[in-house]
Each structure stands twice: as C-alpha cells, then as structure tokens.
Amino acid sequence: MRTSFEALVLSILLGITLAISLTVGPLVTGQAPDVTAKYVAGNLVQDAQTAMKDVAVEYKTGLTAQQIVYPLSDPGSAEISYNVMHNGTHIAFYIKWKDETKDMPIGDVIDQFPDAVAIQFPVFKGELPYVCMGNTQNPVNIVMWKSNTGAEALVSASAYGRGQVQREALQMFESRTRPIHTAPPEDQIWYSDAYYDNGEWMVVLIRPLGSTSPLTPSLEPGSTTSIVFAVWDGAKDERGGLKKTSGWLTVELEQAAAPAEATTQTVTQTSTVTVTAPGKGGVPGWFVEFAVVIIVLLALAVVYLLARKG
C-alpha cells in the first residue's frame, strides 16, 4: 500500500516537474554566440548584386522542413549561407541560398507563390519565445522578404500552431488572437534588395539598430539577440507553414570601434528603447522559471520523505 502511494506521489510530482519544464521553454544562457555581427566602419553594402560578389558569407545554417503544425511540409532540408554586420547605426543581413527556379509572380498571377526568406527576432528580452512564431505572452518580430513584394515587418503572437491539447498541457490558456499581423507603419523599418543569379538568391536586409516601437526590438552594439531563419520555395507552392526553418541562433553585435556615424539611407530612426517582458519586473524570466523547478524538486523530496515515514 505504501509503495503504491509513494509511486502515486512520485508520478504526480514528476508530471508537474515535466509540465513546468516544457512550459519554460528554452532559456537565454551565457553560451558562446552562434553568429557574430561584425562591426564595420562606414557604409554597409546595400546592393544585392554587389553583395553577391563582395560580401563573404561566413556562416552556414541548415534548415529543415516545418513538421510541427498544419499544414505540414514535405520532409526536406535546405542550407543558407549568410553574414551579419553592423556599422554602429544599422545592421545588415546578407542571406544566400540555392533555389533552382526564380519564382517571382508579378501581375495578374493567381496560382503561383513567391520565393521568400524571413528572420524572426524575440520582441522581449529574457526567455526566448516559442520557436514557431511565438505566443501571446512572448511574441516575435519578423522581417519577411518576398520576391514579388520585398520586405515587410510582421508581428506574430499566438503560437497558432499548437493545438488546443498541446496548449492546455503547456498551461497556455491565453485566448487565440490573430496569429500574425503586419506590423504598424512605424515598424516597417527594413530596407531590402535581392539578386538572383545562377540558381542562387542573395537577399540584403538592413534596418536601423535602434527602434522607437515596442514591437521592434532595439539592437545595441555589444549586446546579444536571437534569430531564426526561414525560406520558402515558390516553385514547390511553399507558403505559410510550408517552409524550411532553423532553430534559434544567438547573434552578438560587436562593439563599435569608434563613434558611429549614420551611413545608410534606409531610415532615420536611431533612438533606443529598451523593452522587457510585461509582468516580469526586473527579474529575468529564466531565473523565475529555474526557481520554480528547484522548489518543485524540493517539494518532491519532502513529500517523498513524509510518505516513507508514514
């Protein structure tokens, strides 16, 4: 009898621990960055054709077909090569990937889809959002470039991909809102240029480091942020969830070596706004969650000991 009671208590507490572990998700840690956004003095290369020739793509990341949420992609993978650099006022992403067909539906075309690439950022500092486009408590900021319409900033905030059962298991009881919004005009701060040659895209995405909008995270030299890449192949009718994505990658912005000068003509907003996740005060999210796990484990030990005594 005592044995079965202990087993019951143990399984309940282990269940709670597991649920909490799943809920907290990945934490920002002090690990070495995956990518370093190098500081370069002067102008960032804005022209994609020039970038294809002159910008060395130092990093490679494998992308895998999105297989979590409806509609599921065909199994598959892709690889992007890229470089990230900043000049103290603006940050540039140079992204290159192979695509056998240049899919750029323009005009009265209703059955074709564009090639596209996107970079996802957390809106808040602290705990990283759910990799599949965030949730209402922890949204993401996305820049999506499409071959036919260029770059657009988006905000996604509802983990739409998780089914009701998954959401409840993860204590995500927030009401489902519109999963993705076009960001307001003040967040449309991205410059883009693209060039396709010999079965390969080069897309240049540049934005000011600073942001006046709470929906767009400010980036500062010396700080770290996280990104996720996604690409779509229009020839395969890829759109929405039919895509290939990376996991979260950490990007460290090198310190500026000298006082920054505005060197690109993208936008003029350069002021900085620091935003933290709502309701978490000054305590980092990961600390709270770590403490919860420890408390539960201690509770587990105490109950187990009491049960043995009884």
Partner 1 sequence: MVMVLDKCIGCHTCSLACKNVWTDREGQEYAWWNNVETRPGVGYPKTWENQDKYGGGWVLEDDKLRLRLEKDKHYKPPSLNDYYNPFDYDYEQLFTQEILDQQPSADPLDMYSREKIDIKWGPNWDDDLAGADVIAPHDPNWNGIDKQIYLNFKDVFMFYLPRICNHCLNMACAPACPRKAVYKRPEDGIVLIDQNSCRGYRFCGIACPYKKIYYNWKTGKSEKCIFCFPRVETGQPPACTLSCVGKIRYVGVVLYDETRVPEAAKAPEDQLVKAHRELILDPFDPQVIKEARDAGVPENFIKAAQESPVYYMFKKWELALPLHPEFRTLPMVFYVPPLNPVITVLDRNNKYSADYNSIIPAIDKLRIPIRYLANMFAAGNEEEVRKSLKRLLAIREFFRRIEVEGQSKAEAAAVLSEHGLTVNDADMMYRWLALGRNRWVIPTSKKELRVTLTRRGKGPGMGGRQRG
Residues that bind partner 1 (CB under 8 A): 69-72, 105, 107-111, 149, 160-161, 176, 178-182, 237, 239-242
d(C-alpha 65, C-alpha 71), whole Å: 11
Residue 134, Cα to own-chain centre: how many angstroms?
Answer: 8
Nearer residue to partner 1 within complex by CB, 107 or 259:
107
Q: Which is nearer to partner 1, 89 or 158 (CB)?
A: 158
Q: Cβ 264 to partner 1, closest distance in Å?
A: 28
What's the closest the beta carbon of residue 78 comes to partner 1, in angstroms? 18
Query: Which one, 100 or 108, has the nearer CB to partner 1?
Result: 108
Cβ closer to partner 1: 75 or 282?
75
What is the phi/psi pair of residue 125, to 5°?
-80, 165
Closest distance between partner 1 and the C-beta of residue 194, in Å?
17
Nearest approach, Cβ of 156 to partner 1 (angstroms)? 10
What are all long-range contacts of 132-137, with beta carbons under 8 Å and residues at least 24 apart? 132/66, 132/68, 132/69, 132/159, 132/161, 132/162, 133/158, 133/159, 133/160, 133/161, 133/179, 133/180, 134/158, 134/159, 135/159, 135/162, 135/172, 135/174, 136/174, 136/175, 136/177, 137/172, 137/174, 137/277
In sequence order, what E strands does 53-190 have?
59-65, 77-86, 90-98, 116-122, 140-146, 150-156, 180-182
- Closest approach of partner 1 to the CB of residue 243, in Å: 11
Is the CB of 55 or the CB of 143 nearer to partner 1? 143
- 206 class by beta-carbon count within 10 Å (0-12 exposed, 13-18 middle, 19+ buried): buried
How far apart are CB 204 and partner 1 at their closest, in Å?
Answer: 22
Q: Whose Cβ is closer to partner 1: residue 86's or residue 243's?
A: 243
